[in-house]
């Protein structure tokens, strides 16, 4: 076994910057809803701080645990995630809020099963793709089982229902499969099936169609379906370049829905402006994705590469979807902003995933290529487009 070397400190420091910044913003964004629900201005902030401590302890433990340990538990972890996704739907176990049943209640603590499912799927696919090796393009041995696993997880998450999380899971799995070596035909089939599935989901649920129409024309129903996005855009517009100042948001006073969770980026834009949003949110996430791709490129084996890629995509895709929805680039989906949004189980599991990624960074190998991971991804794309498969990535 290779000895450990220094972990990626850029990745570690940036993660903790986002966690601390998230706590600071939760303290401001949650003050009104916290007082309304509990009679205390700081209840949600204190609760989030407790989960942050738990998450940091888990991060510390997992960044020391050899990432290869997860191989032996990959299948078991996926089964446990499936059981949790089913348990969410059982009356008495599942906790319902806002018309969705996404949490399992344990007294005052709730666990969001889909967060466990994201981590479990990344671990399982990393283990499975490494195991398949040169059979990665085989229809019956790899493609069909991959589709069945993905559809199973997607279906259970949609029963909550949670289309945003289901789409994040599909994007993570699809990216991992593409980099592992899927053929163009397989990828085209996945994309077409995904588009058809999303259109079907929109058709069978009128509220999803209403969200799509609202996205296309937010001003059509400003006090109804378009209320949320219009208030978010109003918050960001009010912040301007420099913001109204920390703690001076107006939208958190029961105007903007979910100001401390899914919509917290709007509060950040209102209070800290464009400058604060870019330097304290967008750039840190860009650094995490950059360093995560670098870790994936230099990981010592296929399992490490796939796992680092999946964890990085998880953070990156979720941040892009959340921020994009708040600024009107995507329809609103209810996906939280990683490390920042209010949500205990999301913060704890995201920190755990970051710990695993850091452990992989400790065991990376030197490369003769440029330190910029984008150059490696460009070279991979050139090989992929030339051969129709990225199997050479495993050499």
For each of the chain's 395 residues, which pLDDT tens digit applies?
Answer: 556 778 899 999 999 999 999 999 999 999 999 999 899 999 999 999 999 999 999 999 999 999 999 999 999 999 999 999 998 888 777 777 766 677 787 766 778 889 999 999 999 999 999 988 888 888 888 889 999 999 999 999 988 878 889 999 999 999 999 998 888 888 888 889 888 887 787 777 777 777 776 766 676 666 666 788 889 999 999 999 999 999 999 999 989 999 999 999 999 999 999 999 999 999 999 999 999 999 999 999 999 999 999 999 999 999 999 999 999 888 888 789 999 999 888 999 999 999 999 999 999 887 544 455 555 555 655 555 555 544 444 44
The answer to whether the CB of 241 falls within 8 A of the CB of 267 is no
**Strand, coil or helix: 167:** helix
Per-residue b or e along 314-353, where b marks 16 or more CB atoms closer than 10 Å to that residue's CB: bbbbbbbbbbebbbeebbbbbbbbbbbbbbbbbbbbbbbb
Does the predicted model carry a pTM greater than 0.85? yes
Rounded-to-integer distance, Cα 151 and Cα 132, Å:
20
Identify the burial level of 166 via C-beta atoms within 10 angstroms of its C-beta, where 0-12 means exposed, 13-18 middle and 19 or more buried. buried
Residues 6+ away with beta carbon under 8 Å from 141: 132, 135
Pairing of strands 100-106, 94-97: antiparallel
Contact by Cβ (8 Å): 20, 317? no
Q: What is the pLDDT of residue 103?
A: 76
Q: Please tell me the distance from the alpha carbon of residue 114 to that of residue 336, in angstroms, as a whole number.
A: 12
């Amino acid at each position: 076994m290779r000895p450990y070397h220094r972990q990626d400190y850029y990745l570690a420091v940036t993660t903790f910057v986002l966690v601390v910044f998230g706590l600071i913003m939760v303290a401001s964004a949650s003050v009104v809803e916290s007082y309304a629900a509990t009679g205390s201005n700081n209840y949600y902030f204190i609760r989030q701080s407790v989960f942050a401590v738990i998450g940091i302890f888990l991060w510390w433990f997992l960044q020391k645990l050899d990432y290869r340990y997860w191989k032996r538990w990959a299948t078991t972890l996926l089964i446990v995630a499936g059981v949790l996704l089913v348990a969410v739907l059982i009356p008495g176990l599942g906790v319902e809020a806002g018309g969705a049943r996404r949490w399992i209640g344990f007294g005052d603590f709730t666990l969001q099963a889909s967060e466990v499912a994201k981590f479990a799927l990344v671990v399982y696919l990393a283990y499975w793709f490494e195991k398949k090796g040169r059979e990665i393009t085989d229809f019956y041995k790899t493609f069909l089982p991959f589709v069945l696993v993905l559809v199973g997880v997607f279906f259970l998450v949609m029963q909550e229902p949670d289309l945003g999380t289901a789409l994040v899971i599909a994007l993570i799995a699809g990216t991992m499969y593409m980099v592992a070596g899927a053929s163009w035909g397989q990828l085209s089939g996945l994309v077409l099936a995904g588009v058809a599935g999303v259109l079907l989901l929109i058709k069978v649920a009128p509220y999803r169609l209403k969200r799509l129409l609202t996205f296309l024309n937010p001003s059509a129903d400003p006090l109804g379906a378009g209320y949320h996005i219009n208030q978010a855009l109003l918050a960001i517009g009010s912040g301007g370049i420099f913001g109204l100042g920390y703690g001076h948001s107006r939208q958190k006073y029961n105007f903007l829905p979910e100001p401390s969770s899914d919509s917290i980026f709007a509060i950040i834009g209102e209070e800290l402006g464009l400058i604060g949003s870019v330097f304290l949110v967008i750039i840190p996430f860009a650094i995490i994705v950059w360093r995560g791709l670098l870790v994936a490129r230099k990981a010592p084996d296929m399992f490490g590469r796939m796992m680092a890629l999946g964890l990085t995509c998880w953070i990156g895709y979720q941040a892009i979807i959340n921020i994009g929805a708040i600024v009107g680039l995507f329809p609103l989906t209810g996906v939280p902003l990683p490390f920042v949004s209010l949500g205990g189980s999301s913060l704890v599991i995201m920190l755990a995933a970051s710990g695993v990624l850091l452990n992989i960074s400790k065991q990376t190998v030197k490369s003769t290529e440029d330190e910029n991971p984008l150059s490696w991804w460009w070279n991979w794309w050139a090989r992929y487009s030339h051969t129709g498969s990225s199997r050479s990535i495993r050499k």
